[in-house]
Structure 1
Amino acid sequence: MSKTKDGVPSVIHNSRINRRTLLASAAALGGAMLLPGQVFAQASTPKPGGTLRIVMPFNPAALDPMTGRNVPDFNALYALFDALIAFDPATLELKPMLAKDWTFTDPTTLVLNLIDGVKFHDGTPFNAEAVKFNLDRFMNDPRSNVKSDLVSVGSVTVTGPSQVTLKLKRPNYSLPTILTGRVGCIISPASIKAAADGNVDRNPVGTGPFKFAEWRDNDLIRVEKNPNYWQPGLPYLDGINFRIINEFNTAARTVTAGETDLALNMAAQQIATARRVQDLTAEANPSMIFFTLMMNFAKPPLNDIRVRQAMNYAINRTELNQVLMLGLGEPTSTMFPKDFWAVDAGTAQFYQHDPEKARKLLAEAGYPKGLEVETWSWPDQTSVQRLEVVGNQLEQVGIRLKVTPSPPQVVNQAFYIEGKGAMILNPQGGWLDPSQTYERLFGATGQFNAGKIEDPQFRKLLDATGTSADAGKRKEAFAALQRFVVEQALHLPLVTSAAMSIRNKKVKDFKYDRLHSPRFHRVWLDQTV
């Protein structure tokens, strides 16, 4: 038995998996995820100052990483919060952040060593106690939407002023990757203890490069530079204004008109239009986001596998990619793009357009004349039109959608928490490790599993994906899991998306990564443009 530099006992094993080993694996896998020719340009001489004006089409449900649900929340979250572990936006290689290093001392023990001298925006210290407080809260708080991310964690122990040790219920070598997301974003414990019922949804206090200033629903989120940020010289910006405009075309036009500098979460139609404007940069980069209809498969009619499979056979995904994505996405029967390391080509295109087979399955399920399915949609014009196109395809085999458009926060409460309705069409994904995607969508505690049930075989297959740090073995395990989810038709995948943004030439060093999670630490404004 040896000791750490803090004098804490540390068990050493021959099978020890440390940060360097995991980084080597992540680099090999992450590099394969980039499409040929994708380059992130680096501007040379950053100039501090200025406020970046962003427009985005979605009002967050919360700015607490624990209680938010939607991918666009990360537009603001990574400005306010540092995660325990970061990743390179181009290669997705894991990098130190609030944790300066991490080591699996054995297959069920993960030790995180934290950086010293960091303070939260309220002046209180970031340390091991704060990390334990947050991880315990993420796992146990009744309001937590991220319990599934830490389902493999049994306990969190402070083993030094700047060290925490996570004891796992079972091996899970994907955990460092998971700690780059919501459960890695550390909030000031003092702010939570001071808030009524611990609710900091609208008053987030992190360690990030920007401090929260104000939030006007469906109008504006404003953040200001953190003058005491622990990374010297950063950020370059004085602040960021996140303007919220729910209609995509209107949002895009604010950049064209010079009212904003950067539009996030755009759709293919806005990219096509913006590319005609010489002074704008419109990008559609490879992405881990996909569009799917999430199903409540715990209750009729979608508890019948034949109905779920019929819906999958009714969809013409190639047509959807052309109509909805203008060819910028990929048709898929799963959740990952074809260049992703964990995707299995054998079942990626499992469901081909076959209306006759869809009708036969519906008849076998007792619906020879078809059926009506209660479906939620986000209320913006693009989302409604997207569901209309999908609905037209389903109607060809007798499946009629009864659609209720509502704001994301209303839909999330009604469908995912209260279990109302049968389906919802929205973007999903944006998680660095594929196990997170499966857990969030189909695990019994997953925040996007409306029915809160899971098949025992699903759990067995998912657990198998975390038992080894070897990329080849994980790929085999994910192939088996993918086949199960596809054959069981646990959702209705349509197309993968791209990370789409529009910006003017003043915005420098902006990188929209494959997870749709922009970081603004090094973004700067060139006032000479």
Structure 2
Amino acid sequence: MSDIRDAGASFTHFNISRRALLGAGAAIGASMMLPAAAHAQASEPVSGGTLRIAMPFNPAALDPITGRNIPDFNALYALFDALVGYDPDTLELEPMLAKDWTFADGTTLVLNLVEGVEFHDGTPLDAEAVKFNLERSMTHPRSNVQSDLASVESVEVSGPHQVTLRLKHENYSLPTILTGRAGCMVSPASIQAAEEGNVDRAPVGTGPFKFIEWRDNDLIRVEKNPKYWQAGLPYLDGIDFRIINELNTGARTVGAGESDLALNLAAQQIATNQRNSDLVAEAKPSMIFFSLMLNFAKAPLDDVRVRQAMNYAINRDELNKVLMLGLGEPTSTMFPSDFWAVNKDTAHYYQHDPEKAKALLAEAGHPDGVEIEAWSWPDQTSIQRIELVGNQLEQVGIRLKINPSPPQVVNQHFYIEGQGSLILNPQGGWLDPSQTYDRLFGAAGQFNAGKVEDPKFRELLDATGKSPDLKERQEAFAALQNFVVEQALHVPLYTSSAMSVRTKKVQDFRYDRLHSPRFHRVWLSNDA
């Protein structure tokens, strides 16, 4: 098997008091939780029961390649297995639908598949099905993962259960990329049977659970896959994903006994629910970060001086204390300070400097300031977030005209139609840092609203995949990070944490750093 381990260091979780504010260097390595005894497994796993989950935001799609929101993965990994897996704690790569993989040379990746796997509709998972999926990801007009597979020249069936990927150039990050959306396998028969191949609301994967129903802004229900290829799994009979947009309301349903687990929470809910000794409230290390994503193809944000002015206007320490209760880490980049691919020299490149921001605006021809149309998610926490950021920007003359809308509406208007100039939302959640850069700033990236890129960006990005050596990749990512920061392609604010609240009967739940929970081994204890 490939021994490429792009995940970097593992992290230690420890108990802290509710009032503690974690310092920037320690925040990402800490966990705000109840005493360790609350997490101990009660006994051997038992089968049965339906896990009731409260999560915010209605997905745009449950087709892995057409969706684009981080909370989608709450359900996606229940329905779909990926070609490559990873350890939720260390993020090291593990076999999944591909039992092993090898680079025959720098531009040839060979995947050997597990035999005997079936999709939920009985279609076999074989080399032909994998080829179909990868080519669909690369060419489908609605695919949001084309940039992930841009280095792939062709996909070949080299055996009944063997697939060979021919690459345009070296890309040693590809196995890591195949842990995400591009690696999630969908039944070819389901796509061929659907009108225009649209399976957004009729997902058929190989995962531990089968899709049953989706009621918009209310409920997604899945049930146990009785023919799951991993013997003895899953333990649960099913999962009900209740869609509750207000985070406080979602967290309260756990305390009230109406839900077993609430996901995608904010620091305020963790602090409040830590007081309840019957619950487990956690804030774990995360690769998620909050940023102002910019349409840098549109005036006035096509001027680097305006983008730099915005970065200098932000007081990241204040945002972390007020919005994250110290549980995040202020940053001028996209990664926590102890992530293997981060360049610490530029992690705090933009210090809060209102006078410098004003001078840059004047130099760019805006001495009296400028108004910028902005999008925000509509929940209370998101509105509070963008209002506080807007207040900081206004101090230097940058006024935000805020349009709050649900995530799927915002994505359509901003990322697809190019309406407005910026959005504040969470980003990240990709295992390989090259994905993060390409998704956000590549011309074909799903989060690049302007669909333009500097040729220098592509040159630097391609260099990050040319070697399997970690040190060489670190040096390449340092150069790429410097370029993105200096060009101010976005306005990063702080890294976040993976925050959840659950009852003690929920056993073996781990909220990984990518905010992508897996429920294969989760079970419900009768003892709690």
Q: Which residue of 1 aligns with 2:130?
A: 131
C-alpha distance after superposition, 1:437-465 (max 9, x if no partner): 00000000000000001000000000000
Q: Mapping of 1:323-362 within 5 angstroms?
A: 323-362=322-361
Q: Does the aligned pair in 1 maintain the 2:6–2:432 contact within 8 Å?
A: no
Q: Which residue of 2 aligns with 1:480?
A: 479
Residues in 1 aligned to 2:328 and 2:187: alpha-carbon distance in whole angstroms: 39
Q: Mapping of 1:164-183 within 5 angstroms?
A: 164-183=163-182
Q: CA deviation at 1:31?
A: 3.1
Task: Mark the CA change 1:41 to 1:96 in structure 2 (over 3 Å): closer, same or farther.
Answer: farther
Q: CA deviation at 1:30?
A: 4.1
Q: Which residue of 2 aligns with 1:247?
A: 246
Q: Which residue of 2 aligns with 1:370?
A: 369
Specify the code of the residue in structure 2 equivalent to 1:509: D
Q: Does the aligned pair in 2 maintain the 1:84–1:185 contact within 8 Å?
A: yes
Specify the code of the residue in structure 1 equivalent to 2:149: L
Q: Mapping of 1:193-208 within 5 angstroms?
A: 193-208=192-207
C-alpha distance after superposition, 1:344-366 (max 9, x if no partner): 00000000000000000000011
Residues in 1 aligned to 2:41 and 2:360: alpha-carbon distance in whole angstroms: 53
Task: Mark the CA change 1:449 to 1:281 in structure 2 (over 3 Å): closer, same or farther.
Answer: same
TM-score between both structures, scaled by the size of structure 1: 0.94
Q: Mapping of 1:12-161 within 5 angstroms?
A: 19-22=1-4, 25-26=5-6, 29-31=8-10, 44-161=43-160
Specify the code of the residue in structure 1 equivalent to 2:291: T
Specify the code of the residue in structure 2 equivalent to 1:151: A
Residues in 1 aligned to 2:11 and 2:434: alpha-carbon distance in whole angstroms: 18
Task: Mark the CA change 1:144 to 1:123 in structure 2 (over 3 Å): closer, same or farther.
Answer: same
Q: Does the aligned pair in 2 maintain the 1:274–1:280 contact within 8 Å?
A: yes
SS state of the match for residue 213, structure 2?
Answer: strand
Q: Which residue of 2 aligns with 1:259?
A: 258
C-alpha distance after superposition, 1:118-153 (max 9, x if no partner): 100001111000000000000000010110100111
Q: CA deviation at 1:20?
A: 4.2
Q: Which residue of 2 aligns with 1:10?
A: none
C-alpha distance after superposition, 1:14-54 (max 9, x if no partner): xxxxx2432xx447x24379866779865650010000000
Specify the code of the residue in structure 2 equivalent to 1:338: S
Q: Does the aligned pair in 1 maintain the 2:309–2:356 contact within 8 Å?
A: yes
C-alpha distance after superposition, 1:173-210 (max 9, x if no partner): 00000000000100000000000000000000000000
SS state of the match for residue 3, structure 2?
Answer: helix
SS state of the match for residue 31, structure 1?
Answer: coil
Alignment RMSD (CA, Å): 1.3
Q: Does the aligned pair in 2 maintain the 1:33–1:91 contact within 8 Å?
A: no
C-alpha distance after superposition, 1:39-92 (max 9, x if no partner): 986565001000000000111000000100011100000000000000000111
Q: Does the aligned pair in 2 maintain the 1:291–1:496 contact within 8 Å?
A: yes
Residues in 2 aligned to 1:32 and 1:251: alpha-carbon distance in whole angstroms: 28
Residues in 1 aligned to 2:57 and 2:372: alpha-carbon distance in whole angstroms: 26
Specify the code of the residue in structure 1 equivalent to 2:436: T
Residues in 2 aligned to 1:473 and 1:48: alpha-carbon distance in whole angstroms: 46
Residues in 2 aligned to 1:528 and 1:435: alpha-carbon distance in whole angstroms: 44
Q: Which residue of 2 aligns with 1:415?
A: 414
Q: Which residue of 2 aligns with 1:14?
A: none
Residues in 2 aligned to 1:392 and 1:292: alpha-carbon distance in whole angstroms: 16
Q: Where does the alignment leave 5 or more consecutive residues of structure 2 unmatched? A: 14-27
Q: Which residue of 1 aligns with 2:22?
A: none
Q: CA deviation at 1:528?
A: 2.2
Q: Where does the alignment leave 5 or more consecutive residues of structure 1 unmatched? A: 1-18
Q: Which residue of 2 aligns with 1:269?
A: 268
Q: Does the aligned pair in 2 maintain the 1:111–1:163 contact within 8 Å?
A: yes
SS state of the match for residue 227, structure 1?
Answer: coil
SS state of the match for residue 322, structure 2?
Answer: helix
TM-score between both structures, scaled by the size of structure 2: 0.95
Q: Does the aligned pair in 2 maintain the 1:32–1:341 contact within 8 Å?
A: no
Residues in 2 aligned to 1:43 and 1:493: alpha-carbon distance in whole angstroms: 41
Residues in 2 aligned to 1:196 and 1:370: alpha-carbon distance in whole angstroms: 50
Specify the code of the residue in structure 1 equivalent to 2:238: G
Residues in 1 aligned to 2:301 and 2:132: alpha-carbon distance in whole angstroms: 39
C-alpha distance after superposition, 1:199-253 (max 9, x if no partner): 0000000000000000000000000000000001000000000000100111110
Aligned residues: 508
Q: Does the aligned pair in 2 maintain the 1:33–1:341 contact within 8 Å?
A: no
Q: Does the aligned pair in 2 maintain the 1:287–1:514 contact within 8 Å?
A: yes
Specify the code of the residue in structure 2 equivalent to 1:97: M
Q: Which residue of 1 aligns with 2:230?
A: 231
Residues in 1 aligned to 2:65 and 2:448: alpha-carbon distance in whole angstroms: 17
Residues in 2 aligned to 1:36 and 1:133: alpha-carbon distance in whole angstroms: 40
Specify the code of the residue in structure 1 equivalent to 2:495: T
